Structure 1
Amino acid sequence: MKGKVKLLTFDATNTLLKLCVSPWKFYANVAEKYGYQIHEDEIKKQFLYTYKNLTKKHPNFGKESILWENWWREIVQGTFEGKIKDNEHIKCIGNKLIQDYKSPKCWFPADGAVDLLEHVKSKCIDIGIVSNFDPRLHEILQSLNLSSYFKFILTSYEIGYSKPDKKIFDSAIEHSKLNLCTDACLHIGDDYEKDYLGATKAGWQAFLVTNNTSGLDVINPLHCFKNLQELKMAIEFQDNFS
């Protein structure tokens, strides 16, 4: 590492937070409550197709074009297209999914997340969140009793920039209210392009937490960890965190 860390930010999904079940399984469970038996493999195919297309059409959850709630309603509409023809049921399912995905019904802290946050906090290092997410992230973190660890929580929707854009990392430094050089900032995430490359191109230090290391030979092995427990063990022995 290049220097002593004074600001540490985390990605949310698949880094600090994990989904209880896959979206297609959860969507299938909600649809079943309305009387529709749809195999999750069918839902997965249409969910991923709709998500990809809508992300291109309305980037960043529709920040510049539609409300984020309507963005997700279009995801639900596309996911169940041809399978649920009752528009009122589609509307009800969409509203329920939007609400459920704010809660512990859908999310839990990744293994080792709390221990790692406690360790970093004990070093008097400011902690933030930098995530490509809609505004529900605040409620999710609060419902999981994680909010108190963070000096700030930045979502791409609220800031107006998505990782890997340098501007979202610059905004994190502004929100820290610290007079920091970029090399005193460390970002931790699971996505090579959005988290690791995004942070390093912004001048930050970066760690990657992922089980899938295929094609990541270009990363310094000291910057790549399988899980948060492994990461915590590593930083306990680094002077940059003492």
Structure 2
Amino acid sequence: MLKKQFCDQLFFVEVYVGRAMHRFRLVTFDVIGTLLNFRTPPPTFYSEAASLFGIKAQPSNIASVFLSEYEKQSSLHPNFGQQTGIGWKKWWNQLVVEVLEKATNSQYSRTKYDSVAEYLITAYKDGEQYNVADGAQDLLSYLQQTNTILGIISNYDERLHCVLNSLDLNKYFNFVLTSYEAGIEKPSTKIFEKALDLAMKIDSNVSPTCALHIGDKIETDYQGATKAQWKCALLKKNKDELLIKRLQKDGVLTNYVFNDLSELKARLPHI
């Protein structure tokens, strides 16, 4: 109870650079679709990579099979192969090969498909294939200046550290928690609890009532965070009537839905 009162009072009593601070002591971010966006849509980049090895695979054909193959691979080997012991490299290799085989009706040798997979695994290891989302740098700088504990909670493999380093984003974060290394995927509350434990090593006053997660997925980000008793800011552009109905059906609070990180930064002191 005392921690909750402490957090709730921060908004009213703290002032930073002449204006009220936000009330959160811990803020964590999802990565893909939140902090980072793909420079090239993956189906297009997969097609371009395949062409380097003499494989003709149309982006539309890749896109048509990618999601189903991704879900199949995730079901067989959860958390990028961490739970079944195959490891994330083999996990991605198998996914890429399956996608390309189906997109090309297995017209080429397994050796060629493996070569494309290896190329893609390496290509996504740094920041070359990503753009930092609009407003991300401003929001991160603001949060860092207000002494907020910052973290990453992402369903991702070990390459995320290299990606963040190459984009010079690692300097903002007190910790980076990938599902692969944690052994837990969102939306499990356990990964949010693990993040909270890391934050409490920095500030023992941190509690779920002081924690905010920022992401773009209803199930993994919003529902995962709220089940852990955190708040969640959900990023959703182009909110049409159908999306609004889905958000309401899933119990999403509309005052925690934002078009982008710039809007979130502007409204953060008031949520």
Residues 21-77 of structure 1, C-alpha deviation per residue, up to 9 Å, x if partnerless? 221111000011112222111111222221111111111111111110000000111
1: CA distance between counterparts of 2:110 and 2:57?
17
Let me know the Cα RMSD of the aligned residues.
Answer: 1.6
Return the match for 1:211 from 213, 226, 237.
237
SS of alignment partner, residue 55 of structure 2? coil
How far apart are 1:103 and its partner, in Å?
2.1
Query: Which of the pair has more CA radius of gyration?
Result: 2
How far apart are 1:84 and its partner, in Å?
4.7
Counterpart residue type for residue 207 of structure 2? C
Residues 93-144 of structure 1, C-alpha deviation per residue, up to 9 Å, x if partnerless? 1111001011233111111111110011111101000011111111101111
Q: Tell whether 2:252 aligns with 1:233.
A: no
**Aligned 8 A contact 1:46 1:78 in 2:** no
1: CA distance between counterparts of 2:185 and 2:236?
20
Between 88-97 and 130-139, the greater mean CA deviation after superposition: 88-97
How far apart are 1:80 and its partner, in Å?
1.2
Give the equivalent residue in structure 2 for 1:125.
148
Return the match for 1:11 from 30, 44, 47.
30
1: CA distance between counterparts of 2:152 and 2:141?
15
Give the equivalent residue in structure 2 for 1:224.
257
* TM-score (normalizing by structure 2): 0.84
Give the equivalent residue in structure 2 for 1:200.
226
Q: Tell whether 2:105 aligns with 1:79.
A: no
Aligned residues: 238
Q: Which runs of 4+ in 1 moved over 6 A?
A: none
SS of alignment partner, residue 114 of structure 2? helix
For structure 2, the 5+ residue unaligned runs are 9-22
Alignment of 1:170-181 (within 5 A): 170-176=193-199, 177=201, 178-179=203-204, 180-181=206-207
Give the equivalent residue in structure 1 for 2:126.
103
How far apart are 1:212 and its partner, in Å?
5.4
* TM-score (normalizing by structure 1): 0.94
Q: For CA contacts below 8 A with separation 6 or more, give which structure has more relative contact order.
A: 1
How far apart are 1:6 and its partner, in Å?
0.7
Alignment of 1:109-188 (within 5 A): 109-176=132-199, 177=201, 178-179=203-204, 180-188=206-214
Between 77-86 and 55-64, the greater mean CA deviation after superposition: 77-86
2: CA distance between counterparts of 1:53 and 1:220?
32
Give the equivalent residue in structure 2 for 1:23.
42
2: CA distance between counterparts of 1:170 and 1:219?
21
2: CA distance between counterparts of 1:64 and 1:197?
23
Residues 185-241 of structure 1, C-alpha deviation per residue, up to 9 Å, x if partnerless? 111110111111111110111111111540112322211101111111112x43x7x
1: CA distance between counterparts of 2:176 and 2:238?
27
Residues 77-98 of structure 1, C-alpha deviation per residue, up to 9 Å, x if partnerless? 1011134522222121111100
1: CA distance between counterparts of 2:122 and 2:174?
25
Counterpart residue type for residue 188 of structure 1? I
1: CA distance between counterparts of 2:68 and 2:209?
38
Percent of matched pairs sharing the same residue: 37
